[in-house]
Amino acid sequence: MMAGFKVLSADLQLDANKSAHNTGAYMSRELIVRRGQPVRLVLNFNTSVRVEDRLQFTAGLITTNASTPLLEFNFYDSRSPAVNSWGAQRVETGRNSVTLNVFTPSNAIIGRYILSIHTSEGQSNLASIVLLFNPWAKGDVVYLSDQAERQEYVLSEVGLIYMGTPSYPQYTFWNFGQFQDNILNISLSLLDSTQSFQRNATEDVRKRNNPIHVCRVLSSILNSMDNNGVVEGNWSGEYSDGTDPNSWTGSTPILRSWFGQRRPVKYGQCWVFAGVSCTVSRCLGLPCRVITNYNSAHDTDHNLSIELYYNSMGESLSRSEDSIWNFHCWNESWYLRSDLGNFYSGWQVWDSTPQEKSDGLYQLGPTSQRAVKEGEVDMKFDTPFVFAEVNADVIIFIEQNNGRVTKGPTRENYVGQLICTKAVGQKALKDISLDYKYQEGSSKEREIYSKARRKIRGAQFEALMSTPPAPQVTGKITVSGTPTVGEDINVTLTLTNMTSDNKAVTVNLSAAAIVYNNIVRRPILNNSEAVQLGPNEEKGVPLQIKYSQYDKQLTSDKMIHITAVYKVENMAETFVETNIVLLNPPLQIKALKTAILDSPMVVEVTFMNPLSTPVTGCVFKAEGSGLTKDVVEKNMGQLEPGQKTSVKIEFIPYMVGEKELLVILTCDKFKDIKGHLSINVQSSSRRLRACCV
Active site residues: 270, 328, 351
Close Cβ partners of 102 (under 8 Å, ≥ 6 residues apart): 38, 39, 41, 57, 86, 87, 88, 115
Q: Is 440 annotated as a binding residue?
A: yes
Distances (CA, A) of 172 to 24, 61, 388, 446, 456: 27, 39, 26, 34, 37
Cα–Cα distance for residue pair 662/677, rounded to 1 Å: 7
Q: Is 226 annotated as a binding residue?
A: no
Among 279, 354, 314, CA closest to 528:
314
Cα–Cα distance for residue pair 213/341, rounded to 1 Å: 16
Q: Is 445 annotated as a binding residue?
A: yes
Read off the amino acid at residue 348.
Q
- Judge contact between 514 and 579, C-beta under 8 A: yes
Q: Is 393 annotated as a binding residue?
A: yes
Cα–Cα distance for residue pair 125/57, rounded to 1 Å: 10
- Judge contact between 383 and 293, C-beta under 8 A: no
Cα–Cα distance for residue pair 447/373, rounded to 1 Å: 11
Among 217, 79, 83, 86, CA closest to 139:
83
Distances (CA, A) of 177 to 352, 624, 678, 680: 18, 8, 16, 17
Which H or E run includes 650? strand 644-651
Backbone phi and psi for residue 500, each to the nearest 5 degrees, phi listed first: -95, 15
- Judge contact between 395 and 307, C-beta under 8 A: yes
Among 234, 235, 227, 233, CA closest to 262:
227
Which H or E run includes 615? strand 615-623
Residues of each annotated binding site for Ca(2+): 391, 393, 440, 445
Binding region: 391, 393, 440, 445
